[in-house]
Structure formats: C-alpha cells, structure tokens
Amino acid sequence: MSESTPITPDPNPAEALDSVANNSNEQANTSADRSAKTRQLLGMKGAASGETSIWKIRLQLMKPITWIPLIWGVVCGAASSGNYTWTLENVLKVATCMLLAGPLMTGYTQILNDYFDREIDAINEPYRPIPSGAIPLPQVIIQIWVLLIAGIALAFALDVWSGHEFPTITAIAIIGSFIAYIYSAPPLKLKQNGWLGSYALGASYITLPWSTGHALFGDLNSTIVILTMFYSLAGLGIAIVNDFKSVEGDRQLGLQSLPVMFGITTAAWICVVTIDVFQGLIAAYLVSIHENLYATILVLLIIPQITLQDMYFLRDPVKNDVKYQASAQPFLVLGMLVTGLALGHAGI
C-alpha cells in the first residue's frame, strides 16, 4: 500500500469561511448588477440608474420590453387576413410592419408617456432617464418627433407597397399616435381615468397592430375591427396589471387608476376577470362560426392563465406583477394567434 498524503487542517478556518462568503457575495452582487442593467435597458421595473451612454438612454426611454405585444399583434393580423404566404416579399413586409408597430410607434408612445409622467416617475421610478436627469428634456422632445414622423412615413410606404388606394395603414398610425397623445397629455389625459385609460392602452396593444397586420395582406373590414376591439377588453385587464407598480405616485398626484379607485384586492379581481371572461367569449364566438378546434385550443390556453393568476397575481399583485406577466402573458398572446388563424381560416 502506498502512503497516504496527510491532511493538514487550515490554521485559520474562520478566515477561509469569510473568504468563501465574500466571493459568494461578490458573485451575487455582480449578478444583481447585471440584472438591474438589463432591466434598465429594457425599460422594466427594478432597473439600475447611472447609465451614461446616450444611445442606451434613448433605447431605455423607448422601453423595448413593451414592443413585443405590438409586434405579435401584427403577426395575428397577418394570420387573420387569410392571405399570408411564406414568400420573401411577405416576410419583408411583416418585418417592416413590426418595425413600425414596435420601435417607432410604441417607442413614440412610451417616450411621450414618460415625458408627461415625469413627476409621477420621480416618485415611482426615479431611476427612469427623465426624472434622473440622464437626458435633457429638449432631446426627449426631439426623439418624440423623430419617431412620430418616421412612423407615419413608414406607414405610408407600407400602403404604397401593398397597393392601397386608401392609405389604411397611415390612417391607423395617425389614429394610434393621437390616442397615445390624449392618453398621456393634458387636458384629456385618459390615464387619469382607470377605465378609459386601461381600455385605450388595451386597444392600442391589440386592435391597432392587429388591424395593421390584417390591412397589410387583406381588406380591413368592420368585423375584424369590432372583434379586436372586443378582444381589447381582455387587454384592458393586462393594462390594469401595469397600474399596480405606480399606486403610490398615482395616489399622491390624484390619478384615478383602478387600484387607486377600488383598492389593490378589488382591482386585482377586476383585472383577472376581464382577462379570462373576454377570452372565453372570443372562444364562444369561434364556436359560433364553426371553428371548434381553434376554440378548444383557446380555452386550453386560458386554463394556465387562471392557474398563474391564483399562484402569483391574486396573492400579491404589487409584488408579483412582473412575475405574473412573464409567466401568463405567453398564453394570452398565443391565444391571440389562435384566434387570428381561426378568423383567417373562416374567411372573416
């Protein structure tokens, strides 16, 4: 047998433990810092402050995380047209339309909202670029105008590309930019009223991009507009989720969001009921036009949303709002696509 190497005990075990603990803390701090910077860039709650790159600050103002539902709405509209085919030209059209709906029009909307909400953000989210002083107000105004003009110009280009006699997509872009303005700006400032503001936001996330995607490949008709406006009542529930993060600032400045009007618990129930019930009614409509398979899939997608509402949102909507949206919204947006495919299949 060979001799075993003797194990020499550490003469300073406390120092060794402290070293391990310090390394663990440094790793945790690095991870937390990285997460906070990512949240900052995407425009999410819990972000870091202190960004110095002007282009990152401009991107943060546009809140890229909010582009996703609008981009997805374009896909749903293309599906509901029933005319989308996988050609290079159509892919380029959709990609261009996504640029319009996401970075340009949603970016314009988010910066406009931040500009008029700078006093509220100073209370709720002081790390945002405007209240933190990271970007001067004149530069913010310039960015708003650049995105607005670029968005309307690109919308007109899409109308020309699609051969529209009437500039449908341009009209939608102008309507959307007007809604964004009256949502954020006085004297109307729709967001001061929980119901009007939440529905305006829900319609902007569902009806406008969906109608744009549909018009890109088909004739936009009143049935599609009415159905998507009805679907936007489910989007109203999603819009209410966003109000929980700013309850304190809304109260101080007199904004009547639903959590302020009804209290946290009641507003949470209003939120989940609108999300679930109106998706269910859309499923019932799909049954009425004999799209039973799509209706069944939509119902199956509602079930996990209800489960996650109980697990996260209803238990603590203020603490779990982001966690709930991240886990439940994929099922909502998949349901939108299922509905779009059903409408396209039915030739609505």
Residues 208 and 82 both lie in one domain: yes
Question: Is 178 domain-assigned?
Answer: yes
6 is a domain residue: no
In a domain, 167, yes or no: yes
What mean pLDDT is predicted for residues 294-317?
95
Question: How crowded is the C-beta side of 279, counted as CA atoms within 13 Å?
Answer: 33
Tell me: do 124 and 209 sit in the same domain.
yes
Residue 94 lies in a domain: yes
Assess whether 281 and 193 both reside in one domain: no
Q: What are the tens digits of pLDDT across the range 181-198? A: 999 999 999 988 888 988
Bridge-partner residues for 214, per DSSP? none
Place of tokens 């779990």: 320
How many distinct structural domains can be found in the chain? Answer: 2
Query: Would 9 be classed as within a structural domain?
Result: no
Instruction: Compute the distance between CA of residue 61 and CA of residue 40 in angstroms, rounded to an integer.
Output: 9
Tell me: do 263 and 300 sit in the same domain.
yes
What pLDDT does 4 receive? 47
CATH code: domain of residue 91? 1.10.357.140
More confident call, 157 vs 322: 157
The reply to whether 84 and 183 lie within a common domain is yes
| Residue that has been written with the tokens 């989720």 in this structure | 241
Mean pLDDT, residues 263-289 taken together: 95
Domain end marker among 220, 254, 284: 220
CB atoms within 10 A of CB 149: 12
Q: Does residue 303 sit in the same domain as residue 193?
A: no
For the segment 12-24, the average pLDDT, to the nearest whole number, is 56
| Residue 168 and residue 259 share a domain | no
In the chain, the percentage of residues whose pLDDT exceeds 90 is 65
- Does residue 151 lie within any of the structural domains? yes
Q: Same domain, yes or no, for 91 and 209?
A: yes
Average the pLDDT over 79-86 and give the result: 96
* pLDDT band for position 9 (cuts 50, 70, 90): low
Structure tokens at 130: 């405007």
Same domain, 89 and 178: yes
* Predicted pLDDT of residue 325: 86
Q: Which of 220, 248, 275 is the last residue of a domain?
A: 220
Q: Assess whether 123 and 252 both reside in one domain.
A: no
Closest CA to 151 of 76, 98, 223, 86: 98
Which whole number is the average pLDDT over 38-56? Answer: 66
Q: Pick the last residue of a domain from 163, 197, 220.
A: 220
Question: How confident is the model over 131-146, as a mean pLDDT?
Answer: 95
Q: Mark whether 186 and 293 lie in a shared domain.
A: no
**Binning pLDDT at 50, 70 and 90, where does residue 153 land?**
very high
| 252 and 195 in a common domain | no
CA angle 319, 322, 328 (to 5 degrees): 120
Query: Domain range holding 324?
Result: 221-347
CATH number at residue 259: 1.20.120
State yes or no: pLDDT of 102 exceeds 50.
yes
